[in-house]
């Protein structure tokens, strides 16, 4: 799915992530999830949390923060924390 604000040079900006969360399909969400798994404490994960807090989307606003928390928990376990 093509998303407004999402270009090769502007991937994962706040507007792009907002659009991905609001209008994304399974492929888009899989790409976003992979980026969060790659860097669970990184800027994309932080943007997802920020957007979900500010933009209430049915189901999405609860799902993604829980996913980020799970990935962060697993990353902490791997680091010994």
- What does the domain layout of the chain look like in residue ranges? 14-79
Measured distance CA(23)–CA(64) in Å, rounded: 14
Give 13-41 pLDDT, tens digit per residue. 999 999 999 999 999 999 999 999 999 99
* Model confidence at 1: pLDDT above 50: no
Question: Which pair of tokens denotes residue 28?
Answer: 């888009």
Measured distance CA(22)–CA(32) in Å, rounded: 12
Higher-scoring residue by pLDDT: 77, 24: 24
């Amino acid at each position: 799915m093509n998303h407004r604000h999402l270009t090769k040079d502007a991937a994962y900006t706040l507007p792009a992530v907002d659009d991905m969360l609001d209008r994304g399909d399974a492929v888009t969400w899989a790409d976003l999830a992979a980026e969060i798994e790659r860097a669970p404490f990184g800027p994309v994960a932080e943007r997802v949390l920020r957007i979900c807090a500010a933009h209430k989307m049915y189901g999405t606003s609860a799902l993604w923060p829980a996913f980020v928390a799970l990935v962060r928990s697993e990353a902490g376990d791997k680091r010994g924390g």
